[in-house]
């Protein structure tokens, strides 16, 4: 009998759900034993539920092909079949909030990819290298709801993964940031499937993604905040101005960042000092040797034309932030280009890393 932790995937037939299932195929700690989706897929073998719409480009894992898809709307179906669930639900935010709470109430922890609970003040929105201390709020969350074993933890918007680690590394090193201007160039896979119509994307850039700029400007403040009084209190800064665009790239979100330090001129770091901070940065996932954690969370390239999505998105198995073009900024202090894999670090694999952290810290006991 397998000694792995049994896990479920909610929204298992969608693009993110499929990626969870593929990435978990040979995971050393977790094993998919439960899949759930919409009522139209319920009752079918998983391989039949995703027939002609398996999007990941490899075979459906053998251990999942014949699992019977359950109705995700019935949380009680998961009892006894898995110890926690990954949520890749695709429905209205209020519906997702209610459903994730229903699983938690049944004693089933929820590690969510959905945005519905990102602003719930006692739900940690995790980038494990940055705000691992936010796990402390889970005890208050469980107490607040009267939950025993169940709880909810979420990951942030995929575009934030592109530049949050380098920002945090600088602040942790004693170089606080006052304000920054961010322009994201986001891959089409970030829109899910079927996503943006091809007529809009081929030979084109779409300079608007609904809700993305607000997420980019605000979510970073919760991630950089602190647990106080049983809730997460947002950081006061930095002030962020964001422009979010959709570009004809399949995978890999890019961001151009200009930032100003909140320091006197003689205390601001040099480009060499900034690079040293980034290349030496590690955190709790590396200390714990979590299976999905990159050895080098931040990778700096010196070529004048890097990073590029096709060349750099798989760095550290798609889990690193890749930075290039670090240089002085004539308006602020410095500017750079950053890249991350939006469907790995920014989605399913980032969720798996969150679960690994939770497991290592004893939350699935």
Task: Give the number of residues written for the chain.
Answer: 365
Cis peptide before 36 (omega within 30 of 0): no
CA atoms within 13 A on the CB side of 232: 30
What is each CA distance from 60 to 20, 35, 190, 351, in whole angstroms?
A: 11, 13, 22, 20
DSSP for 221-247 reads HHHT-EEETTEEEPP---EEEEEEEE-
Distance of CA 25 to the CA centre of its chain: 19
Question: Residues 341, 96, 137, 214: is their CA dihedral positive or negative?
Answer: positive
Cβ contact 293:286 at 8 Å: yes
Cβ contact 219:225 at 8 Å: no
Percent helix, percent strand, percent coil in the chain, to nearest 5 = 35, 20, 45
Q: Which of 158, 220, 244, 321 is catalytic?
A: 158
Question: Residues 290, 291, 292, 296: is their CA dihedral positive or negative?
Answer: positive
Residue 220 is a catalytic residue: no
Q: Which among 294, 302, 296, 300 has a CA at the least distance from the CA of 319?
A: 294
What is each CA distance from 38 to 85, 252, 359, in whole angstroms?
A: 16, 29, 28
Q: Which of 82, 134, 220, 253 is catalytic?
A: 253
Helix axis angle for 271-279 and 164-172, nearest 10°, is 110
Question: Residues 269, 272, 276, 278: is their CA dihedral positive or negative?
Answer: positive
Residue 27 is a catalytic residue: no
Q: Which among 202, 165, 125, 198 has a CA at the least distance from the CA of 280?
A: 165
Cis peptide before 252 (omega within 30 of 0): no
Cβ contact 145:104 at 8 Å: yes
What phi-psi label fits residue 305: left (phi over 0), alpha (psi between -120 and 50 degrees) or beta? alpha
Enzyme catalytic residues: 158, 253
């Amino acid at each position: 009998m397998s000694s792995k932790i049994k896990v479920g995937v909610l929204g298992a037939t969608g693009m993110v759900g499929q990626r969870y299932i593929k990435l978990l195929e040979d995971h050393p700690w977790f094993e998919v034993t439960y899949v759930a989706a919409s009522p139209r897929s319920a009752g079918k073998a998983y391989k039949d539920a995703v027939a002609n719409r398996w999007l990941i480009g490899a075979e459906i894992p053998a251990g999942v092909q014949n699992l019977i898809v359950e109705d995700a709307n019935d949380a009680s179906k998961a009892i006894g079949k898995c110890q926690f669930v990954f949520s890749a639900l695709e429905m209205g935010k209020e519906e997702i909030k209610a459903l994730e709470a229903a699983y938690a109430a049944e004693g089933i922890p929820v590690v969510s990819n959905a945005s519905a609970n990102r602003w719930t003040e006692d739900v940690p929105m995790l980038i494990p290298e940055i705000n691992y201390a936010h796990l402390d709020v889970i005890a208050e969350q469980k107490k607040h709801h009267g939950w025993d074993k169940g709880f909810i933890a979420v990951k942030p918007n995929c575009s934030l993964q592109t530049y949050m680690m380098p920002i945090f590394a600088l602040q942790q090193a004693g170089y606080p940031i006052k304000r920054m201007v961010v322009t994201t160039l986001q891959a089409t896979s970030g829109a899910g499937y079927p996503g943006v119509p091809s007529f809009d994307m081929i030979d084109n850039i779409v300079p608007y993604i609904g809700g993305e700029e607000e997420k980019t400007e605000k979510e970073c403040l919760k991630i950089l905040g602190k647990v106080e009084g049983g809730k997460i209190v947002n950081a006061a800064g930095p002030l962020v101005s964001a422009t979010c665009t959709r570009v004809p790239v399949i995978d890999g979100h890019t961001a151009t960042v200009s930032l100003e330090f909140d320091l006197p001129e003689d205390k601001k770091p040099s480009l060499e000092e900034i690079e040293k901070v980034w290349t030496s940065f590690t955190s709790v996932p590396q200390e714990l040797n979590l299976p999905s954690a990159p050895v080098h969370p931040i990778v700096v390239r010196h070529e004048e034309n890097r990073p590029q999505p096709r060349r750099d998105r798989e760095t550290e198995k798609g889990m690193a932030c890749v930075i290039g073009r670090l240089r002085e900024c004539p308006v602020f202090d410095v500017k750079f280009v950053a890249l991350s894999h939006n469907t790995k670090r920014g989605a399913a694999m980032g969720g798996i890393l969150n679960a690994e952290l939770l497991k290592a810290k004893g939350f699935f006991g």
